[in-house]
């Protein structure tokens, strides 16, 4: 059946495992600093330079057992355990599952391999196990890889052989580690998945990771890789350029998984840190099936970037070393273009998951559940007393966009971050345009607004989601009627905005409809994606308001990533006045959409003109939105020249 390595010392005995046993690897590795990693208990451990051996690739290939069943195998090293997927019903299970692990001379190096049967009667019954000393095997084998067939022993009887398992283990070449990592990370910005990178794709990646020195060299690097001058380079060419030249500055200044600032002394060590941090940081203990392609491996990075970026956007502010990217919006009050600050990592994450073919795969494969989990976790955190410490940081980062003087209570009044987030405003802080005239609709939120005379215009200029429709937005139980040919206004709330929404019109609330869904971001990057429908797939609540001046108006409150709940303070049957508070979104950014029936409203021309240029307009609650066409026909119009908040 083969030889079994039976050393039982898993404490990391290092007899004879000095650096001379791994000369090929030692020539390439020069560690100049101490690296930190997290063990399974969450404590920080220090890896000492002289103890570093390398990254071992362990593959559990197949087994031969005494009877037929469904099987899975586990490999344990130190305090960590990784498992394969379940096999088919057979006595010769094939897994071809791989895991990379860090080897240290004074760390764990005795790997324990266990094989379990799993069926209806016995879901996880340990059948056989064995051990292998990775340091001993890798140091004695002169080839690049070492294939072994080990006896599996009955755990209740050390002398009874119950089967055998085949495995392969090797030390990964450090240069290949770096090249593979670069190809993997660059695959994220290859949005059309054509295997080529344009300069804008490459530039966006460097900008997102915030290394100013590297940003200054990106044109030089790109031109060096683009040997034929056609404006694009293959990922392999670019990876080779970045790996071989060994630039003085690392491409990435801080780890996108743990946020740790990286050293610029030895770039290769940073790549090792990033590779292992990703493997450990995902929380996914299932071993990969076979050897992944760089594109397949990049899926995991997109997962982690998406999770990290969404969380970091409310952590609060920019991480050290990151670079802010910008969305331009037109400030209606000042009549100037202003910048909406967003962390560059978030831009990278959103583009990767919402605007790429790879992202489409992830959306279909479970990104929805991931975003739900993130939102629930962050919602709990922002309701905790400890979250109050984040309020000053949040205010400081958005100091030019948050006016704390408008708040009803001082900052010291709030006991959690979420209490501050859903803060009320002082009476009169948001004047209502022509408050006495119900024929003038007003803006429902402090937000970035897009307004369209027809649904067709919104699809042409802004909403690019697949199969977007009013019926999909409002739900099939609400008769679309004239809504399908009506006007649509989108109120997007950013994290820095006042997060209570108000009524745009006066009338009677006829009904509320809860529609379950997911929690995609409402950022324009996702809204403009052709791969998902943010507005028709997200969790939302639809209310119908019956009015004298506008007919029926559909008011849709849409949840988004980090939004724990949507709360209304009005109920069905209530008569409401425009400008009154309607409800609020808990922690996170979100969106309100109002749909008017056909020919019900003339939206203010400045809002329509900006939207036709795909430019959002920054507005405040109570600003004029538009005038009822019915009132125009009946000549019941206010003097719009005296509207204070339209100027």
Which of 405, 439, 366, 372 has the alpha carbon at shortest distance from 630? Answer: 439
Q: How far is CA 109 from CA 84, 106, 244, in A?
A: 20, 8, 31
The dihedral sign for the CA sequence 606, 611, 613, 617: positive
Which of 279, 343, 346 has the alpha carbon at shortest distance from 307? Answer: 346
Catalytic choice (109, 310, 434, 502): 502
Q: State the Cα–Cα distance between residues 430 and 353, nearest whole angstrom.
A: 37
CB of 522 closer than 8 Å to CB of 540: no
CB of 124 closer than 8 Å to CB of 118: yes
Residue that the structure tokens 């090249």 belong to = 179
Which of 236, 246, 257 has the alpha carbon at shortest distance from 183? Answer: 236
Structure tokens at 80: 């960590």
Residue that the structure tokens 């071809």 belong to = 96
Helices (H), 576-628: 605-612
Q: State the Cα–Cα distance between residues 108 and 589, nearest whole angstrom.
A: 45
Structure tokens at 346: 């978030």
The secondary structure of 161-183, three-state, reads EEEEEEEEEEECCHHHHHHHHHH
CB of 129 closer than 8 Å to CB of 112: yes
Which of 236, 200, 235, 234 has the alpha carbon at shortest distance from 219? Answer: 200
Structure tokens at 455: 């649904």
The reply to whether 226 belongs to the active site is: no
Structure tokens at 116: 């379990």
Which of 243, 385, 390 has the alpha carbon at shortest distance from 314? Answer: 390
Q: Rounded to 5 degrees, what are φ and ψ at 239?
A: -60, -40
Structure tokens at 75: 């490999």
Q: How far is CA 39 from CA 12, 51, 171, 280, in A?
A: 15, 17, 22, 9
The reply to whether 590 belongs to the active site is: yes
CA atoms within 13 A of residue 296's CA, in its CB half-sphere: 6
Which strands make up the sheet holding 624-628, listed edge to edge? Answer: 440-442, 624-628, 601-603
Residue 500, strand partner residues: 584
Q: State the Cα–Cα distance between residues 352 and 192, nearest whole angstrom.
A: 10
Q: 3-state DSSP call for residue 432?
A: coil
CB of 75 closer than 8 Å to CB of 60: yes
Q: State the Cα–Cα distance between residues 107 and 86, nearest whole angstrom.
A: 30
If you ran DSSP here, which 8-state letter would residue 260 be given? Answer: P
Structure tokens at 340: 């909406």
Q: State the Cα–Cα distance between residues 443 and 239, nearest whole angstrom.
A: 50
CB of 88 closer than 8 Å to CB of 78: no
Catalytic choice (270, 446, 457, 497): 446
Q: How far is CA 479 from CA 200, 394, 482, 591, in A?
A: 45, 42, 9, 22
Q: What is the largest CA-CA distance in the chain?
A: 99
Q: Which residues, including other chains, have CB under 8 Å from residue 173's CB and lie 6 or more apart?
A: 28
Catalytic choice (250, 312, 529, 590): 590
The reply to whether 326 belongs to the active site is: no
Active site residues: 446, 502, 590
């Amino acid at each position: 059946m083969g030889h079994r390595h039976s050393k039982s010392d898993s404490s990391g005995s290092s007899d004879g495992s000095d650096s001379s046993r791994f000369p090929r690897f030692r020539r390439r590795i020069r560690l100049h600093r101490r690296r930190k990693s997290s063990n399974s208990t969450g404590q920080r451990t220090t890896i000492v330079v002289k103890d570093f051996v390398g990254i071992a690739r362990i593959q559990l290939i197949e087994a031969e057992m005494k009877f037929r069943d469904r099987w899975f195998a586990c490999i344990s090293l130190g305090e960590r355990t990784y498992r394969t997927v379940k096999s088919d019903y057979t006595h010769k299970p094939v897994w071809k599952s791989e895991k990379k692990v860090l080897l240290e001379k004074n760390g764990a190096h005795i790997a324990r391999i266990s094989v379990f049967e799993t069926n209806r009667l016995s879901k996880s019954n340990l059948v056989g196990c064995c051990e292998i000393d990775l340091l001993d095997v890798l140091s004695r084998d002169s080839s690049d890889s070492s294939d072994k067939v080990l006896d599996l022993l009955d755990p209740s009887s050390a002398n009874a052989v119950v089967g055998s398992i085949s495995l392969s283990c090797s030390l990964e070449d450090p240069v290949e580690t770096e090249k593979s990592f670069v190809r993997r990370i660059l695959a994220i910005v290859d949005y059309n998945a054509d295997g080529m990178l344009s300069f804008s794709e490459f530039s966006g990646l460097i900008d997102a990771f915030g290394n100013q020195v590297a940003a200054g060299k990106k044109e030089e690097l790109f031109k060096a890789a683009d040997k034929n001058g056609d404006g694009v380079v293959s990922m392999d060419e670019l990876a080779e350029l970045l790996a071989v030249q060994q630039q003085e500055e690392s491409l990435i200044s801080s780890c996108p998984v743990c946020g740790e600032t990286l050293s610029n002394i030895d770039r290769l060590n940073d790549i090792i840190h990033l590779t292992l941090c990703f493997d450990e940081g995902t929380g996914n203990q299932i071993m990969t099936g076979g050897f992944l392609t760089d594109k397949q491996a990049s899926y995991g990075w997109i997962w982690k970037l998406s999770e990290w970026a969404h969380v970091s956007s409310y952590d609060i502010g920019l991480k050290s070393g990151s670079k802010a990217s910008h969305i331009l919006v037109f400030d209606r009050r000042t009549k100037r273009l202003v910048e909406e600050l967003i962390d560059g990592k978030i831009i990278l994450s959103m583009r990767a998951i919402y605007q790429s073919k790879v992202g489409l795969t992830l959306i279909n494969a479970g990104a929805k559940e991931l975003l739900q989990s993130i939102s629930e976790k962050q919602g709990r955190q922002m309701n905790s007393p400890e979250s109050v410490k984040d309020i000053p940081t949040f205010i400081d980062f958005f100091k030019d966009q948050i006016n704390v003087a408008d708040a009803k209570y001082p900052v010291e009044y709030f006991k959690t971050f979420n209490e501050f987030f859903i803060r009320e405003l002082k009476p009169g802080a948001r004047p209502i345009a022509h408050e006495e005239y119900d024929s003038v609709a007003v803006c429902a939120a402090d937000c970035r607004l897009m307004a369209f005379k027809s649904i067709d215009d919104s699809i042409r200029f802004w909403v690019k989601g697949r199969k977007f429709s009013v019926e999909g937005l409002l739900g099939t139980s609400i008769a679309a009627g004239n809504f399908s040919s009506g006007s649509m206004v989108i109120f997007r709330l950013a994290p820095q905005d006042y997060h209570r929404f108000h009524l745009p019109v006066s009338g009677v609330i006829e009904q509320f409809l809860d529609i379950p869904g997911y929690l995609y971001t409402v950022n324009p990057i996702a809204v403009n994606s052709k791969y998902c429908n943010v507005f028709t797939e997200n969790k939302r609540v639809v209310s119908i308001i019956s009015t004298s001046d506008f007919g029926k108006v559909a008011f849709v409150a849409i949840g988004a990533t980090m939004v724990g709940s949507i709360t209304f303070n009005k109920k069905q049957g209530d008569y409401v006045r425009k400008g009154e508070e309607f409800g609020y979104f808990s922690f996170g950014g979100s969106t309100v959409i109002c749909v008017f029936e056909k020919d019900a409203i003339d939206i203010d021309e400045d809002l329509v003109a900006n939207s036709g240029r795909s430019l959002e307009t920054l507005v405040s609650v109570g600003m004029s939105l538009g005038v009822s066409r019915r009132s125009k026909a009946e000549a019941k119009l206010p003097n719009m020249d005296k509207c204070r908040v339209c100027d």
